[in-house]
Amino acid sequence: MKKIRVNGNERAVEPGSTVEDLLHDLGLADRGPSGLAVAVDRQVVPRSEYPTTPLDDGAQVEILRAVGGG
């Protein structure tokens, strides 16, 4: 298992895991990527690259979701 940090919290992921795998594990993939932003080690990951962006041991992942309202 690899250890990463997601929004400041430590989390274990399987070797070979990608951003897409993480979003699925967190239950965010089913809601669709609209309004979702992901950065790995301070680099924003384009949605088209979620399936191919690996999560290396020690990676810092930030996930943001836009919320509308007024």
Distance separating alpha carbons of residues 11 and 63, to the nearest angstrom: 14
Q: What is the pLDDT of residue 68?
A: 72
Distance separating alpha carbons of residues 67 and 2, to the nearest angstrom: 31
Residue 67 token pair = 């919320």
Assess if residue 10 is contained within a domain.
yes
Assess if residue 22 is contained within a domain.
yes
Q: For residue range 2-51, what is the model confidence (pLDDT) as tens digits? A: 999 999 999 999 999 999 999 999 998 776 656 889 999 999 999 999 99
Assess if residue 6 is contained within a domain.
yes
Q: Is the pLDDT of residue 67 over 80?
A: no
Distance separating alpha carbons of residues 21 and 38, to the nearest angstrom: 13
Please, which residues have CB within 8 angstroms of residue 14's CB and are 6 or more apart in sequence?
1, 2, 21
Domain of 23, in residue numbers: 2-65
Please tell me the pTM assigned to this model: 0.88
Work out how many domains the chain is built from and give that number: 1
Q: What is the pLDDT of residue 38?
A: 96
Assess if residue 70 is contained within a domain.
no
> What CATH number should be reported for the domain holding residue 11?
3.10.20.30
